[in-house]
């Protein structure tokens, strides 16, 4: 379980978020500039909050009280970036294998590289380079790399935004079953209400750094409003 309570001052507002996430998908919805990426970066260790704490399965990743701030590589937090950030000079298999690090425990130890490639349906692309595969396939490769690092939490920043409509519909179903199979919390950032409703077991809406809506289910109610259920 992830427990978060952070405060981070930004130039135009203060990000102030308190939430817990079980082994489920939390969708974070909100307009551009609301602080969604900043929140993910605080969780992954790429940015440092000013106050609060972040606790993942009982491990303190950040605490302003005990002055703890684990570096990203020690957090066991996977991050799939909006543009997937694959290494262009490495094949699909090499990119995915980059996630495997010696001595780490977790699902990556049990489930090997080839099983993950198989699960994500990219085995036949193992020898290709990122420039030779589609957007959806690049996304799967980035997911494979993130999962093979054995994360206890997976962060996905607009994971479907680079995909066309049809691929998006397919991949979002796959993402949901992947989370069920992997059994760790996923936090997924999106602008898209429909996507949040489909993917999120729970949804929060972030505006100017504050949670302005929480719901178990999102219903479209007029122009993009969030009905807290
Ligand atoms: N390191 C930083 N230093 C200064 N300002 C920052 C920093 N990171 C983010 N900001 C500012 O904080 C606000 C929140 O940005 P953030 O990228 O978190 O929003 P977002 O909700 O992810 O937006 P988008 O959906 O457009 O990606 C913005 O006003 C941004 O300009």
Residues in the chain: 229
- Inter-residue contact 184 to 143 (CB < 8 Å): no
Residues 78 and 145: their CA atoms lie apart, in Å, by 9
**Any ligand 1 atom below 6 A from CB of 83:** no
Whole-model pTM? 0.87
CATH superfamily entry for domain 1-76+152-229: P-loop containing nucleotide triphosphate hydrolases (3.40.50.300)
Tens digit of each residue's pLDDT, the chain (229 residues): 999 999 999 999 999 999 999 999 999 999 999 999 999 999 999 999 999 999 999 999 999 999 999 999 999 999 998 888 899 999 999 999 888 854 444 454 445 888 889 888 899 999 999 999 998 899 889 999 998 888 999 999 988 887 788 888 888 888 898 899 889 999 999 988 999 999 999 999 999 999 998 887 544 444 444 554 4
The CA-atom distances, in angstroms, between 200 and each of 95, 138, 169, 197 are: 28, 23, 14, 6
pLDDT reported for residue 34: 95
pLDDT reported for residue 220: 47
- The structural domains of the chain, with segments of one domain joined by +, span 1-76+152-229, 88-146
Atom of ligand 1 nearest to the CA of 34: 21
Distance 209 CA to ligand 1 centre (A): 9
**Any ligand 1 atom below 6 A from CB of 190:** no
User: Which residues on neighbouring strands pair with residue 78, listed in sequence order?
Assistant: 154
pLDDT reported for residue 225: 47
pLDDT reported for residue 226: 52
**Residue to probe by mutation, ligand 1, list 33, 43, 159, most atoms within 8 Å of CB:** 33
Distance 146 CA to ligand 1 centre (A): 23
pLDDT reported for residue 13: 96
- Inter-residue contact 28 to 204 (CB < 8 Å): yes
């Amino acid at each position: 379980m992830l427990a978060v309570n952070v405060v981070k001052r930004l130039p135009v507002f203060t990000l102030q978020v308190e939430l817990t996430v079980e082994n489920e998908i939390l969708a974070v919805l909100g307009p551009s500039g609301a602080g969604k990426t900043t929140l993910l970066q605080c969780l992954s260790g790429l940015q440092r909050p000013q106050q609060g704490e972040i606790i993942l399965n009982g491990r303190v990743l950040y605490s302003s009280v005990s002055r703890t701030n684990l570096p990203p590589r020690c957090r066991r937090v996977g991050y799939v970036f909006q543009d997937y950030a694959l290494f262009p000079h490495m094949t699909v298999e090499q990119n995915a294998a980059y996630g495997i690090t010696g001595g780490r425990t977790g699902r990556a130890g049990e489930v090997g590289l080839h099983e993950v490639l198989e699960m994500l349906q990219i085995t036949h692309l193992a020898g290709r380079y990122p420039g030779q595969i589609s957007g959806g396939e690049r996304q799967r490769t980035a997911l494979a790399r993130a999962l093979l690092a054995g994360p206890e939490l997976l962060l996905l920043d607009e994971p479907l935004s680079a995909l066309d409509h049809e691929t998006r519909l397919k991949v979002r179903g796959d993402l949901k079953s992947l989370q069920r199979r992997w059994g760790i919390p996923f936090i997924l950032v999106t602008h898209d209400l429909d996507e949040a409703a489909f993917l999120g077991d729970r949804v929060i809406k972030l505006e100017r750094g504050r949670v302005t809506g929480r719901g178990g289910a999102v219903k479209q109610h007029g122009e993009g409003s969030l009905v807290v259920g």
